[in-house]
Amino acid sequence: MAIKYLDAKRLQGTNAERLALATTPQTNATSWKLIDRSSTLESVGSGKNIRVPTSSGSFTAKDNMMIITNSVSEGSMTQFDMNFNEDFNTNYWWNLSTNASSGTSQDDTWWIGLGGDDGSSDNHCFSVTQLKHIASKDKVGYTDGCFAQVGSANVPSRRKVTGKWTPSSSTAITDITYSNMNGASGSMSSGEVLVLGCDDDEADSGTNFWTQLGEHTLTADGSLDVSFTPKKYMMFEINTFNNSSDSSNMYIRFNGEDAGTGGSQYCKRQNAGAALANEETLSNENAIENPTYTGSDDHKYVQSIFCNETGQEKLGTGQSTGNSGTADDSPRKMEFAWKWIGSAQVSRITVTSASNPYGAGSSIRVWGSD
């Protein structure tokens, strides 16, 4: 590096040279980008919808797309659906299961049913859709969604959907409508739709949507605890390993709550099998309890995405797997939807075991975005 001196013998270097010496790692912007978003409600018939982009126009699609919807209904809601490019013809096929019920498959005028009727005027619906976007092919993807009434006694419902859109010509997705325009009752009192994208050869430019907010990795036996600056949308992943003794059930809690202060703050619906008989509900709990198949698994992995708005109950979807550590034993799996009724944003996550601490190498990572 060439050295130049200013007055008082101060050093000067080029910006490129300073960056080369920087001790803070430079993060490549090669992850999910925010393509567009909208929270503008438009009246359509007896209901409302949200269009991205708002009212008119289009966005540029990427090879991989993630669509996040977050809405609250007014009146008893049946469901909200998505349409692409204002196509309301029978160019959609889907297969859905609610609370592990037998799948329903049909062609229709919409992509995916995202809500469900639980007879409440306070339905909160949250979903994450991911799809592979190839302009010359059918658009194929899946949705993990959940919806719930207010209160820790009201366990959220889960909806798992696979779907495809088969436009009449090779068409890129350039706008999305989220609505109840297809005959469902109810309407939105508030809502937001975010469209994320990432090309297969994503350029190192722009701003990543998901930013890592915090991380905790154990160097010795213990519990996981991470604090961070909260964001509106959050994602976390948990990896735990047993120590010399089997770890028992996992407990996930927020904002420093424990078994006493967290009483009746959480509820969850989960399924660790493939049939309705495997569906379980847990209400008025003091934690998101054991979102894994069994307490004795040697290695557990949990991943969840949730909305984290101030003044709203926190609603999220997740999946997990557990491995017994035996080569001839297949890993367990679980799908779940959860809710925390706290009004403050989640700014701390604690993961504990009921009896034995987790082993070294266990970790939690948290990402978020406004």
- The rounded distance, in Å, linking the Cα atoms of 136 and 172 is 8
- The rounded distance, in Å, linking the Cα atoms of 302 and 175 is 32
215-244 pLDDT per residue, tens: 999 999 889 999 999 999 999 999 888 876
**Domain identity same for 164 and 281:** no
Token pair in block for residue 239:
């990896």
Token pair in block for residue 152:
């820790």
**Domain identity same for 40 and 136:** yes
**Domain identity same for 85 and 224:** no
**Domain identity same for 180 and 234:** no
**Domain identity same for 262 and 121:** no
Establish if 259 belongs to a structural domain: yes
- Secondary structure letter of residue 102 according to DSSP: P
167-184 pLDDT per residue, tens: 876 788 889 988 765 555
**Domain identity same for 180 and 226:** no
Domain range for 72 is 33-198
Cα 248 to chain centroid, rounded? 26
CB 235 within 8 A of CB 210: yes
Token pair in block for residue 238:
């948990």
Establish if 8 belongs to a structural domain: no
- The rounded distance, in Å, linking the Cα atoms of 340 and 342 is 6
The total number of structural domains in the chain stands at 2
Establish if 16 belongs to a structural domain: no
User: Which domain-ending residue is among 148, 168, 198?
Assistant: 198
User: Which domain-ending residue is among 153, 170, 198?
Assistant: 198
**Domain identity same for 179 and 70:** yes
User: Which domain-ending residue is among 198, 223, 258?
Assistant: 198
Establish if 2 belongs to a structural domain: no
Can the peptide bond before residue 53 be classed as cis, meaning omega within 30 degrees of 0?
yes
**Domain identity same for 318 and 220:** yes
Its pTM stands at 0.83
What backbone torsions phi and psi does residue 179 show, to the nearest 5 degrees?
A: -160, 180
pLDDT in tens, the chain (370 residues): 444 444 444 445 444 443 343 334 445 677 899 999 998 888 776 667 888 998 778 898 889 999 998 888 766 655 678 888 888 888 888 877 777 666 666 666 676 666 555 555 557 888 899 888 887 888 888 888 888 777 667 887 788 888 888 887 678 888 998 876 555 556 777 889 999 999 888 877 778 899 999 999 999 988 999 999 999 999 999 988 887 666 667 889 999 888 887 778 888 887 776 555 577 777 888 888 876 655 555 788 889 999 999 988 888 998 887 766 565 666 677 788 888 988 899 999 999 887 778 888 999 999 999 9
**Domain identity same for 218 and 302:** yes
Establish if 80 belongs to a structural domain: yes
First-to-final CA distance of the chain: 39
Cα 72 to chain centroid, rounded? 17
CB 369 within 8 A of CB 210: yes
